[in-house]
Structure formats: structure tokens, C-alpha cells
Amino acid sequence: MGDRRARPRIVILGSGFAGLACARALGGKSADVTLVDRNNYHLFVPLLYQVATAALSPADIAEPIRKIVRRHRNIDVVLGEVVGIDVPARHVALAGGRRLAFDRLVLATGSAYNYFGHDAWAVHAPGLKTIDNARQIRTRILKGFELAELTDDPAKQAALMTTIVVGAGPTGVEVAGAVAELARYTLARDFRRIDPRRARVLLVEAGPRMLTAFPDDLVAYARQRLDRLGVEVMLDHKVEGIRAEGAVVEGHLIRAQTVIWGAGVRASPAAQWLGVEADRAGRIPVTPDLSVPGLPGIYVLGDTASTPDAHGQPLPGLAQVAEQQGQHLGKALAREIETGAPLPPFQFRNRGNTAIIGRNAAIFDFGRGRHLRGFAAWLLWAIVHVYLLVAFDKRLIVTFQWLWRYLTYQRGARLITGDGAGEGTP
């Protein structure tokens, strides 16, 4: 870099797990850090499916960025949308004309759902990336039961009580399980004409296997738990179309009130901003120290990066990968600035890959053949997730809500609000 300013300006784009960890590692160090995000909060995305299924409120899993970094006076927070990066001039352009000059730039803008060329499907099948997504799904599901209660047409009732989840990765499995539990337990006795326990939840997967990242025995266990919850798992079934009425699967239209997309992600347009080549999923290949080859002082983290593991395979798009990378880079940059030491290579330490299927049922894969499943895995899952929630009061509130929900089968956030809340009463 040959940076001659006493305090280099480090701009971090995105305050997800990677960007936030990087900023925090630079807190109090000899650098002026600017953390840019289009939202004013850090969102704990792994629990977003619980907002979509009325178990938690958005504020339970979102924390104001300013609050998190408040005590670090060298970190500046900017609410803004990136529109471009001028690499030679070394500045980031934000919507509205504002520019941020940088000496070092960290891209951690995450990923969005990939509809594989069918962007029109997004309206009918929201993914699980934003609070608005989750609220939309919650409203659709709950509204479906309300409308089913009001109609006497059995075919309409069935469609209104049907949810299709596309993609059987961890998110798909988790949300399918949660919707089934919402219908079977929470709503079971709330209606007079319909029986919510007869609600259908379909988990449709184009490939021959669900939870591809997990070993066979854990997948078999997850499948058995989903079966017990009444989730219909359809492997080797391709979704060919998604419309307002439902999804076309292998040539047949399955009518459904709610379709949820969890089939694949695409990195944010960071590669376009930098003018570099991306891989098939839009990710920017980085060197072991997380920098972009040929662009000194520019780094890419988390879902936006393609980082090779020990076997040359790219690391998966997991929160723990993003967080470890952010922390690694933040520490490395702080040391480089203070001592001139070169950036060490990043090494991923697998903390365990996990998915939750429902009450008392989760799976953990710690690698090297060490697995955990069932109640113990579920308890560990809950402890880990509560621990990872940033703020202390949220940890307690979420713990309390979960405990209460566990004991009563109730859910606290069953609100039909916002977009679509008022439409279509039959």
C-alpha cells in the first residue's frame, strides 16, 4: 500500500457478520473506520425464519449498528446505499452523491437470493434475507388461515392452508419445520371451521438429497423429524414456475397461499463495482489473506468472497465463516498498521454446522465424523444462538420468549401487518 497517512481511512461496506466483526476488531486502533450499511441495524439472519413464523419480533434479532460500535470513537457509521466504487481514485460512491475516500476498503455486502434468471418469482416467493421478507411471509401464512376460516370451498381452504418451501438446504428445512409447528401446535385450537393441523407444508428440492452439506445419518434423522411433523419432502422435483396462485412443480400447479424461496444465493454486485471477474455465484475469488488479487488494499469477506479451504473448495456461505473472516482481517489490518507486519492467511475453524428441524430436534456436524442430534443438539443450538445474539438484553428476551414458547406452544408475534394485510378478504 505505501500508505503515508498516520491514520489510514478504512471503509467497510456492509454490517453483517463479516463487516461488523471487522469493524469491532478495529475499534480503538490507529485507523479511521467508516462502516456503511443501507440499514441502521445489524440483522441476525439465522433467526429470521423465526420472525417469518411469528415466534420472534424483528427487534429481537436486530440491533442498531451505532449502539454496537458506540464506545469506539474511531468508528463512524453511515446509513447509505453503495452505487459504485472508483478503484483508481479510491472512493466509494453512495446513492445521493456522497463519496467516501478510503485507503483500505473492505467489501462485506453479503448475498441475495438467486432466482436463477426468474426475478419475477421474487414477488410471489420471498426469500429470508430481510425483515421485510420475514414480515411478508408471516402476514401471508397467518392471513391464509384467516381466509380459509371464512370460505366454505374446500379446494380454496386447502390452497390457503398450503405453504411451499423451495430448496431443502438448512434455511428451507428450518422454515418448513417451523411453519408445520405453527400450524400443528400454536394455531391448532384457534379456529372454529378449519383444522390448522391439516395444513400442508411442502419442501421441494430439485436435487436428489436434502441438507447436502450434512452427513447421511444426520440427513436421515432430519428427514424422519420432518415426516413426523407432516412436512412433505419432495426430492428430485423441479420448480418450473411461481405465480400468485402457487408453484408449478414438474408440470403441475400446486396451489399455495405462501411460497418461500430458499433455493440459492448470489453474491452482492461487488464484483461489478470493482470491475473484477466473479465466479458462477457472483463471488469474488480472494487470496488466502482475503485481498483481491491485483487490487492492493481491497479485501472481500463473507458471502461476497470465494475463499478456498484446505482442499481448494470455496468455504460455504455461513455466518461463522463471515464472522471469523471479519475478525481475522480486522486484527490483521490493525497489526499491519501498527507494526507493518504482512497480513497472515485466513484459516477457518469449523465450530459445527447446524440446522434445527423443530421442537427438541436439531442436528450438529462438527466435522471429522463427530455428530450430534436430537434434544441435546437442539439445546446446544439454542444456547449457541442466544449467545451469539449481540446485545445482552436481546439474549435475555429471546431466551425468555423461547422458554415461554417451549412451555406453552404459544408464539408472541402473530401479527398480520403491512403489505398485503388488508387485501383480498373474500
CB nearer to its own copies: give 208 or 424. Answer: 424
One-letter amino acid at 391 equals A
40 binds its own copies (CB under 8 A): yes
Burial 69-85 (b: 16+ CB within 10 A, else e): beebebbbbbebebebb
Options 3, 57, 238, 248; binder of its own copies; rule CB under 8 A: 57
Burial of 167: CB neighbours in 10 Å, binned 0-12, 13-18, 19+? buried
* Element spanning 92, H or E: strand 91-94
Pattern 384-423, its own copies, x by CB under 8 A:
---------xx-xx--xx--x---x-x-xxxxxxx--xx-
For 23, phi and psi rounded to 5 degrees?
-60, -45
66 binds its own copies (CB under 8 A): yes
Choose the stretch contacting its own copies; rule: CB under 8 A; options: 55-63, 319-327, 370-378, 379-387: 55-63
Q: How far is the CB of 78 from its own copies (least distance, A)?
A: 7
Q: How far is the CB of 358 from its own copies (least distance, A)?
A: 20
Neighbours of 5 (CB within 10 A): 9
- Residues annotated as catalytic are 174
Q: Give the binding-site size for its own copies (rule: CB under 8 A).
A: 59
Options 33, 45, 94, 343; binder of its own copies; rule CB under 8 A: 94
Could you tell me if residue 341 is left (phi over 0), alpha (psi between -120 and 50 degrees) or otherwise beta? Answer: beta
79 binds its own copies (CB under 8 A): yes
CA torsion 320→166→131→416, rounded to 10°? -140
Options 150, 213, 220, 253; binder of its own copies; rule CB under 8 A: 150
Q: How far is the CB of 43 from its own copies (least distance, A)?
A: 9
Q: How far is the CB of 65 from its own copies (least distance, A)?
A: 9
For 173, phi and psi rounded to 5 degrees?
-65, -45
Q: Which of residues 175-194 bind its own copies (CB under 8 A)?
A: 187, 189-192
Options 251, 310, 340, 425; binder of its own copies; rule CB under 8 A: 425
153 binds its own copies (CB under 8 A): no
146 binds its own copies (CB under 8 A): yes
Length of the chain measured in residues: 426
DSSP 119-163: TTHHHHS--SSSHHHHHHHHHHHHHHHHHHHH---HHHHHHHTEE
Burial of 47: CB neighbours in 10 Å, binned 0-12, 13-18, 19+? buried
Pattern 283-322, its own copies, x by CB under 8 A:
----------------------------------------
d(CA 197, CA 188): 6
Options 98, 118, 209, 228; binder of its own copies; rule CB under 8 A: 98
Compute CA 127 distance to the chain's CA centroid, rounded to the nearest angstrom.
9
Q: Which residue bears the cell 421485510?
A: 132
Compute CA 139 distance to the chain's CA centroid, rounded to the nearest angstrom.
19
CB nearer to its own copies: give 296 or 418. Answer: 418
CB nearer to its own copies: give 98 or 118. Answer: 98
One-letter amino acid at 400 equals F
Positions touching its own copies (CB under 8 A) are 38-41, 57-60, 62, 64, 66-67, 70, 73, 76-81, 94-98, 131-132, 142-143, 146-147, 149-150, 187, 189-192, 393-394, 396-397, 400-401, 404, 408, 410, 412-418, 421-422, 424-426
